[in-house]
Protein backbone atom coordinates (compact mmCIF):
# COMPACT_ATOMS: atom_id res chain seq x y z
CA UNK A 1 0.00 0.00 0.00
CA UNK A 2 2.96 2.35 0.56
CA UNK A 3 3.75 2.03 -3.14
CA UNK A 4 0.14 2.84 -4.05
CA UNK A 5 0.26 6.02 -1.99
CA UNK A 6 3.67 7.05 -3.33
CA UNK A 7 2.34 6.45 -6.83
CA UNK A 8 -0.74 8.49 -5.99
CA UNK A 9 1.45 11.46 -5.09
CA UNK A 10 3.36 11.19 -8.37
CA UNK A 11 0.18 10.90 -10.42
CA UNK A 12 -1.26 13.97 -8.73
CA UNK A 13 1.80 16.03 -9.52
CA UNK A 14 1.48 15.38 -13.26
CA UNK A 15 -2.29 14.95 -13.62
CA UNK A 16 -3.14 18.60 -14.42
CA UNK A 17 -0.76 18.70 -17.37
CA UNK A 18 -1.25 15.11 -18.51
CA UNK A 19 -5.03 15.51 -18.73
CA UNK A 20 -4.76 18.68 -20.78
CA UNK A 21 -7.42 20.42 -18.74
CA UNK A 22 -10.21 19.44 -21.15
CA UNK A 23 -13.33 17.52 -20.29
CA UNK A 24 -14.50 14.16 -21.52
CA UNK A 25 -17.04 11.59 -20.40
CA UNK A 26 -14.28 9.55 -18.74
CA UNK A 27 -12.92 12.29 -16.48
CA UNK A 28 -14.17 12.45 -12.88
CA UNK A 29 -16.66 15.15 -12.01
CA UNK A 30 -15.49 18.01 -9.82
CA UNK A 31 -17.45 16.51 -6.93
CA UNK A 32 -15.43 13.26 -6.87
CA UNK A 33 -13.03 13.27 -3.95
CA UNK A 34 -12.76 13.76 -0.20
CA UNK A 35 -12.95 16.91 1.90
CA UNK A 36 -11.39 16.48 5.34
CA UNK A 37 -13.95 17.59 7.92
CA UNK A 38 -12.02 16.49 11.00
CA UNK A 39 -8.48 15.58 12.04
CA UNK A 40 -7.17 14.29 15.35
CA UNK A 41 -4.76 15.69 16.34
CA UNK A 42 -5.81 18.96 14.70
CA UNK A 43 -3.89 20.19 11.66
CA UNK A 44 -0.91 22.32 12.65
CA UNK A 45 -0.15 20.32 15.81
CA UNK A 46 3.46 19.45 16.65
CA UNK A 47 4.09 15.69 16.70
CA UNK A 48 6.87 14.52 19.03
CA UNK A 49 9.64 12.66 17.21
CA UNK A 50 9.87 9.01 18.24
CA UNK A 51 6.46 8.93 19.95
CA UNK A 52 3.73 6.88 18.21
CA UNK A 53 0.54 8.79 17.46
CA UNK A 54 -2.78 7.82 15.90
CA UNK A 55 -3.69 10.21 13.10
CA UNK A 56 -7.45 10.04 12.48
CA UNK A 57 -8.81 11.75 9.38
CA UNK A 58 -12.55 12.08 8.83
CA UNK A 59 -13.59 12.97 5.33
CA UNK A 60 -16.80 13.65 3.47
CA UNK A 61 -16.21 11.61 0.32
CA UNK A 62 -18.24 11.78 -2.88
CA UNK A 63 -18.11 9.32 -5.75
CA UNK A 64 -20.15 9.97 -8.91
CA UNK A 65 -17.94 8.87 -11.81
CA UNK A 66 -17.77 5.14 -10.95
CA UNK A 67 -19.75 2.49 -9.09
CA UNK A 68 -16.99 1.94 -6.52
CA UNK A 69 -13.57 3.18 -5.50
CA UNK A 70 -11.19 3.19 -2.53
CA UNK A 71 -10.59 6.02 -0.08
CA UNK A 72 -6.87 6.23 0.75
CA UNK A 73 -5.21 8.23 3.53
CA UNK A 74 -1.50 8.51 4.17
CA UNK A 75 1.30 10.99 4.60
CA UNK A 76 4.39 12.33 2.91
CA UNK A 77 7.24 13.40 5.18
CA UNK A 78 9.68 16.23 4.55
CA UNK A 79 12.48 16.69 3.78
CA UNK A 80 12.84 13.05 2.61
CA UNK A 81 9.52 12.69 0.71
CA UNK A 82 9.13 9.26 2.33
CA UNK A 83 5.62 7.86 2.74
CA UNK A 84 3.92 7.05 6.04
CA UNK A 85 1.77 3.97 6.56
CA UNK A 86 -1.63 4.21 4.84
CA UNK A 87 -5.23 3.28 5.58
CA UNK A 88 -7.95 2.41 3.07
CA UNK A 89 -11.68 1.80 2.87
CA UNK A 90 -13.85 0.78 -0.08
CA UNK A 91 -16.78 3.06 -0.93
CA UNK A 92 -19.73 2.88 -3.31
CA UNK A 93 -21.26 5.55 -5.52
CA UNK A 94 -22.73 8.44 -3.54
CA UNK A 95 -21.58 10.59 -0.62
CA UNK A 96 -20.43 9.14 2.69
CA UNK A 97 -18.39 10.07 5.75
CA UNK A 98 -15.24 7.99 6.17
CA UNK A 99 -12.86 7.94 9.15
CA UNK A 100 -9.43 6.38 8.74
CA UNK A 101 -6.77 6.01 11.43
CA UNK A 102 -3.03 5.63 10.82
CA UNK A 103 -0.56 4.71 13.55
CA UNK A 104 2.52 6.81 12.84
CA UNK A 105 5.83 7.29 14.66
CA UNK A 106 7.43 10.54 13.46
CA UNK A 107 11.16 10.06 12.83
CA UNK A 108 13.60 12.64 14.24
CA UNK A 109 15.13 13.01 10.77
CA UNK A 110 11.94 14.64 9.40
CA UNK A 111 10.65 18.17 10.02
CA UNK A 112 7.02 17.91 8.87
CA UNK A 113 4.41 15.57 7.46
CA UNK A 114 1.35 16.18 5.34
CA UNK A 115 -1.47 13.64 5.42
CA UNK A 116 -3.71 13.38 2.37
CA UNK A 117 -7.11 11.78 1.90
CA UNK A 118 -8.64 11.02 -1.46
CA UNK A 119 -10.29 8.56 -3.82
CA UNK A 120 -8.43 6.01 -5.92
CA UNK A 121 -10.58 4.64 -8.73
CA UNK A 122 -10.68 0.89 -9.30
CA UNK A 123 -8.56 -0.35 -12.21
CA UNK A 124 -10.20 -0.77 -15.58
CA UNK A 125 -13.02 1.77 -15.22
CA UNK A 126 -11.60 4.15 -17.83
CA UNK A 127 -10.94 6.99 -15.37
CA UNK A 128 -7.78 8.76 -14.23
CA UNK A 129 -6.29 7.01 -11.18
CA UNK A 130 -7.51 9.51 -8.57
CA UNK A 131 -10.20 11.98 -7.60
CA UNK A 132 -9.60 15.22 -5.69
CA UNK A 133 -7.55 15.20 -2.46
CA UNK A 134 -7.57 17.20 0.75
CA UNK A 135 -4.74 17.43 3.29
CA UNK A 136 -3.70 18.35 6.81
CA UNK A 137 -0.17 19.27 7.92
CA UNK A 138 1.89 18.67 11.05
CA UNK A 139 5.29 19.77 12.32
CA UNK A 140 7.64 17.19 13.82
CA UNK A 141 9.56 18.34 16.89
pLDDT tens, residue order, the chain (141 aa):
344 444 444 434 333 333 333 344 455 445 789 999 999 999 999 999 999 999 999 999 999 988 899 999 999 999 999 999 999 999 999 999 999 999 999 999 999 999 999 998 877 666 666 678 899 999 999
- The answer as to whether 83 is a domain residue is yes
Label the pairing between strands 130-140 and 46-47.
Answer: parallel
> At 85, which CATH number?
2.60.40
Count the domains in the chain: 1
Predicted confidence at residue 133, as pLDDT, reads: 87
- The answer as to whether 61 is a domain residue is yes
Which structural domain, as residue segments, surrounds residue 69?
2-18+45-135
Phi, psi (5° rounding) for residue 20?
75, 0
* Residue 44 falls in which region: left (phi positive, over 0), alpha (psi -120 to 50) or beta: left
- The answer as to whether 23 is a domain residue is no
- The answer as to whether 72 is a domain residue is yes
Sign, CA dihedral 100-85-134-114, equals: positive
- The answer as to whether 91 is a domain residue is yes
- The answer as to whether 121 is a domain residue is yes
- The answer as to whether 106 is a domain residue is yes
Do 85 and 34 form a contact (C-beta atoms < 8 A)? no
- The answer as to whether 30 is a domain residue is no
Q: Looking at 1-141, list the stretches that DSSP marks H as alpha helix, in order from N- to C-terminal side.
A: 2-18
Predicted confidence at residue 131, as pLDDT, reads: 75
Say what the pTM is.
Answer: 0.78
Amino acid sequence: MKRLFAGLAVVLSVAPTACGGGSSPTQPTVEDGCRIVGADPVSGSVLKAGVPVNITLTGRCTLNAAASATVVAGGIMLPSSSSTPTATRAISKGTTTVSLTILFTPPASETSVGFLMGIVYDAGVGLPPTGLLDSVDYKIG
